[in-house]
């Protein structure tokens, strides 16, 4: 009798211990899930409400729990429409009692985690309306799961009652064109117009390009944008997309408003591309998107106003915008842009190639922090299995990678080439392509390379910074620019390598500045300070990128 009692006691103790350990494990898993999601979704209201055990005393938002073996376990996750970004947390695969997972209408990236293959009770998985998420299922995933994926359901746009408004200058109204055509047309034209109208309406219902509502970026009304810009009267510039206006939102934030013009070289595809891309990425060195507008045939993008303009403006733009940047500032701005590119090239799940890096797309905020802008041409790097990869070459003359142009094969090294051209711009103060100069000076890259190889630094440097730089730092930048603009992409470095070299150059420059200040304080040095310092005082060797391999190697310093 005593033996049976002891056996029963041991069995109950084992069950209690197992239940307790399972509850503890579940709480640990939920805590890890919150940490993974919070890395890319700070200040998310749902995540901030999660504390303690997901099933007790009250169930977390997005969780559903049921009793099992004496404890409550998580059986359903519903994170739909929660504005979540980043990769789907692999930790979800540790919630082994899950039967349903709903992740639709978010901005998840990457692919379905391999850990989902361990969810043997899973019956339903929905990842619809996650435009940057791969729908490839991991090996071992149960074939009995109802897997829902794909694009967002198109929603017809129902406009509000017509209201009077002033279109941005240069933007024509299609309605006026149609009405004019009908008024002056013959009976045949009327039939043709009716036919085209029916076809157009069918295409409108089919086309996902008109649906902007799937993004997490704030949608602004046309009226609010009109108010912010003073009816589009504060023009501050024009680009390939259209005119750019300055405005102020109701809460006081200054913004730059890009309005697509009817003659724009960029269309709905580029508009939607930028909208969807910027809803999935964020980095301090990328210009973020605040809001957008798809109303009354307008396509409008709203960004924070970059008070110090573009790098191009400051180097050789209009006289009213041109202000001399000192050498350390030029270098610092390019380091910021390089960090933004490194982020894109290493984006979780699949790297992003900008395809239009140039000095006009590097903007500077109030603190002169360099930020990469304009993602209309950006796209994911090609990979095996892509269906119908785009062979269309995009970019700007003077910055365009010659290998990409000739082969139509795109890689991150195409961005590296363009960035190398920007480095030559900050050194020389010249435009990348200037047909007003003598024929042998049209191309900045071709003009600069002989000077770099022959070490004629003083003959190519921008007159605005002559005598105001450390020679060693300048040579570091020129060496990087030279290898970035190699004709063949295999000889170019990665953006990570470029960034390290530029950061080293800035350290050398700052150390030289500190040294010179200490010398000048004693009154022993003249005004032409940096040129009187021997480069050997700062380093006996130059860590450079070897053009034959595109890798960092330590080599002797270049001769003066």
Q: What angle do CA 464, 465, 469 make, to 5 degrees?
A: 175
Share of the chain above pLDDT 90, in %: 45
Instruction: Kindly tell me the sign of the dihedral angle through the C-alpha atoms of 57, 59, 65, 66.
Output: positive
Q: What is the pLDDT of residues 379-392, one digit of tens each?
A: 888 876 555 555 68
Q: Which two tokens stand for residue 526?
A: 């003249």
pTM of the entire structure? Answer: 0.60
Q: Are 74 and 93 in contact (CB under 8 A)?
A: no
- Measured CA to CA, the distance from residue 264 to residue 147 in angstroms comes to 40
Does residue 203 sit in helix, strand or coil?
helix
Instruction: Kindly tell me the sign of the dihedral angle through the C-alpha atoms of 167, 170, 175, 176.
Output: positive
Element of type H or E holding 48:
helix 45-48
Q: What is the pLDDT of residues 25-77, one digit of tens each?
A: 788 899 889 988 988 787 888 998 898 889 888 889 999 999 988 888 999 99
Provide the pLDDT for residue 217: 81
Radius of gyration of the chain (CA): 29
| Sequence-separated (6 or more) residues with CB below 8 Å from residue 211 | 152, 154, 155, 157
Nearest to 243 by CA among 300, 290, 172: 300
Q: Is 356 a catalytic residue?
A: yes
Q: What is the pLDDT of residues 76-114, one digit of tens each?
A: 999 998 888 888 998 999 999 999 999 998 878 777 988
- Measured CA to CA, the distance from residue 43 to residue 502 in angstroms comes to 34
Q: Residue 169 — very low, low, confident or very high, per pLDDT cuts 50/70/90? A: low
Instruction: Please say if the pLDDT value at position 551 is more than 90.
Output: no
The larger pLDDT score, comparing residue 278 to residue 261, is at 278
Does residue 554 sit in helix, strand or coil?
strand
When pLDDT is averaged across residues 269-292 and rounded to a whole number, the result is 88
- Measured CA to CA, the distance from residue 303 to residue 282 in angstroms comes to 13
- Measured CA to CA, the distance from residue 433 to residue 420 in angstroms comes to 14
Q: Does domain 311-381+394-556 have CATH number 3.30.70.100?
A: no
Among residues 53, 102, 356, 401, the one annotated as catalytic is: 356
Provide the pLDDT for residue 519: 73
- Which pairing describes strands 254-260 and 242-248: parallel, antiparallel, or unpaired? antiparallel
| Sequence-separated (6 or more) residues with CB below 8 Å from residue 493 | 416, 480, 483, 484, 501, 545, 550, 551, 552
Does residue 268 sit in helix, strand or coil?
helix
H helices of 222-310, where? 222-229, 268-278
> For the residues of 507-551, what is the DSSP string, one character each?
HHHHHHHHHHHHHHTTT-S-S-TGGGS-GGGT-SEEEEEETTTTE
Q: Residue 307 — very low, low, confident or very high, per pLDDT cuts 50/70/90? A: very high
Q: Residue 189 — very low, low, confident or very high, per pLDDT cuts 50/70/90? A: very low
When pLDDT is averaged across residues 116-142 and rounded to a whole number, the result is 85
Q: Which two tokens stand for residue 519?
A: 């010398």
Provide the pLDDT for residue 361: 96
3-state secondary structure 451-490: HHHCCCHHHHCCHHHCCCCCHHHHHHHHHHHHHHCCCCHH
Instruction: Please say if the pLDDT value at position 441 is more than 60.
Output: yes
Instruction: Please say if the pLDDT value at position 21 is more than 70.
Output: no
Q: Residue 542 — very low, low, confident or very high, per pLDDT cuts 50/70/90? A: very low
> What does the longest C-alpha to C-alpha distance in the chain come to?
108
Q: How far is CA 476 from the centre of its chain?
A: 27
The larger pLDDT score, comparing residue 485 to residue 175, is at 485
Instruction: Please say if the pLDDT value at position 557 is more than 60.
Output: no
What's the topology of domain 18-148?
A: 3.80.10
Instruction: Please say if the pLDDT value at position 554 is more than 50.
Output: no
Provide the pLDDT for residue 508: 95
Instruction: Kindly tell me the sign of the dihedral angle through the C-alpha atoms of 415, 421, 425, 430.
Output: negative
Which string of b and e fits 324-337 if b means at least 16 CB within 10 Å? ebebbbbbbbbbbb
Provide the pLDDT for residue 203: 38
H helices of 170-221, where? 174-184, 187-206
Provide the pLDDT for residue 264: 60
For residue 423, the 8-state DSSP code is H
Query: In the chain, where are the structural domains located?
Result: 18-148, 171-210, 216-304, 311-381+394-556
Distances (CA, A) of 203 to 11, 208, 375: 68, 10, 26
Q: Are 332 and 368 in contact (CB under 8 A)?
A: yes
Element of type H or E holding 345:
helix 327-345
Instruction: Please say if the pLDDT value at position 333 is more than 50.
Output: yes
Mean pLDDT of the chain: 79
Long-range contacts of 106-109 (CB under 8 A, 24+ apart): 106/79, 106/80, 106/81, 106/82, 106/130, 106/216, 107/83, 107/131, 107/132, 107/215, 107/216, 107/279, 107/280, 108/84, 108/132, 108/133, 109/85, 109/133, 109/280, 109/347, 109/348, 109/349, 109/350
Q: Does domain 216-304 have CATH number 3.30.200.20?
A: yes
- Measured CA to CA, the distance from residue 470 to residue 476 in angstroms comes to 10
- Which pairing describes strands 242-248 and 291-295: parallel, antiparallel, or unpaired? unpaired
Q: Residue 510 — very low, low, confident or very high, per pLDDT cuts 50/70/90? A: very high
- Measured CA to CA, the distance from residue 293 to residue 167 in angstroms comes to 13
358 is in an annotated binding site: no
- Measured CA to CA, the distance from residue 282 to residue 285 in angstroms comes to 9
- Measured CA to CA, the distance from residue 277 to residue 355 in angstroms comes to 14
- Which pairing describes strands 218-219 and 291-295: parallel, antiparallel, or unpaired? parallel
Q: What is the pLDDT of residues 341-388, one digit of tens each?
A: 999 999 986 899 999 999 999 999 999 999 999 998 898 888 765 555
When pLDDT is averaged across residues 457-471 and rounded to a whole number, the result is 92
Does residue 269 sit in helix, strand or coil?
helix
Neighbours of 46 (CB within 10 A): 16
Provide the pLDDT for residue 382: 80
Instruction: Please say if the pLDDT value at position 160 is more than 70.
Output: no
């Amino acid at each position: 009798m005593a033996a049976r009692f002891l056996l029963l006691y041991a069995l109950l103790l084992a069950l209690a211990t197992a239940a307790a350990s399972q509850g503890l494990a579940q709480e640990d898993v939920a805590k890890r899930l919150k940490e993974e999601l919070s890395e890319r979704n700070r200040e998310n209201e749902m995540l901030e409400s999660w504390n303690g055990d997901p099933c007790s005393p009250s169930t977390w938002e997005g969780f559903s729990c049921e009793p099992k073996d004496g404890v409550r376990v998580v059986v359903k996750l519903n994170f739909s429409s929660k504005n979540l970004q980043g990769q789907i947390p692999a930790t979800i695969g540790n919630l082994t009692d899950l039967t349903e997972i709903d992740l639709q209408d978010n901005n998840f990236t990457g692919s379905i985690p391999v850990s989902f293959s361990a969810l043997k009770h899973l019956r339903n998985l929905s990842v619809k309306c996650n435009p940057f998420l791969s729908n490839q299922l991991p090996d071992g995933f149960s074939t009995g799961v109802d897997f829902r994926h794909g694009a967002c359901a198109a929603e017809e746009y129902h406009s509000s009652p017509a209201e009077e408004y002033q279109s941005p200058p240069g933007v024509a109204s299609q309605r006026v064109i149609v009405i004019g055509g009908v008024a002056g047309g013959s009976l045949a034209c009327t039939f043709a117009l009716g036919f085209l109208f029916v076809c157009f309406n069918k295409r409108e219902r089919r086309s996902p390009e008109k649906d902007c509502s799937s993004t997490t970026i704030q949608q602004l009304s046309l009226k609010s944008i009109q108010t912010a810009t003073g009816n589009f009267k504060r023009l501050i510039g024009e680009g390939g997309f259209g005119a750019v206006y300055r405005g102020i939102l109701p809460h006081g934030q200054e913004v730059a408003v890009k309005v697509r013009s009817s003659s724009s070289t960029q269309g709905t595809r580029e508009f939607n591309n930028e909208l969807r891309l910027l809803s999935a990425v964020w980095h301090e060195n990328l210009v973020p998107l605040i809001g957008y507008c798809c109303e009354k045939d307008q396509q409008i993008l709203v960004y924070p106003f970059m008070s110090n303009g573009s790098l191009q403006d400051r180097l050789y733009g209009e006289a009213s915008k041109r202000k001399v940047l000192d050498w350390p500032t030029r270098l610092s701005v390019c380091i910021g842009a390089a960090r933004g590119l490194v982020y894109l090239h290493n984006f979780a799940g699949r790297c992003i190639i900008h395809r239009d890096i140039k000095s006009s797309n590097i903007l500077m905020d109030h603190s002169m922090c360099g930020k990469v802008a304009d993602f209309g041409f950006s796209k994911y790097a090609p990979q095996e299995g892509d269906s119908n990869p785009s062979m269309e070459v995009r970019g700007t003359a003077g910055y365009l990678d010659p290998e990409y142009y000739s082969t139509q094969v795109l890689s991150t090294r195409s961005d590296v080439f363009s960035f190398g051209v920007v480095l030559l711009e900050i050194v020389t103060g010249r435009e990348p392509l200037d047909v007003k100069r003598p024929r042998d000076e049209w191309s900045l890259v071709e003009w600069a390379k002989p000077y770099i190889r022959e070490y004629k630094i003083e003959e190519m440097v921008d007159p605005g910074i002559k005598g105001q730089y450390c020679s060693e730092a300048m040579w570091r930048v020129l060496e990087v620019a030279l290898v970035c603009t190699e004709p063949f992409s295999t000889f170019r470095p990665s953006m990570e390598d470029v960034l390290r070299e530029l950061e080293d150059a800035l350290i050398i420059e700052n150390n030289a500045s500190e040294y010179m200040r200490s010398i000048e304080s004693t009154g022993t040095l003249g005004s032409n300070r940096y040129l009187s310092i021997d480069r050997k005082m700062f380093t006996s060797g130059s860590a450079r990128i070897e053009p034959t391999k595109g890798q960092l190697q330590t080599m002797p310093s270049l001769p003066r």
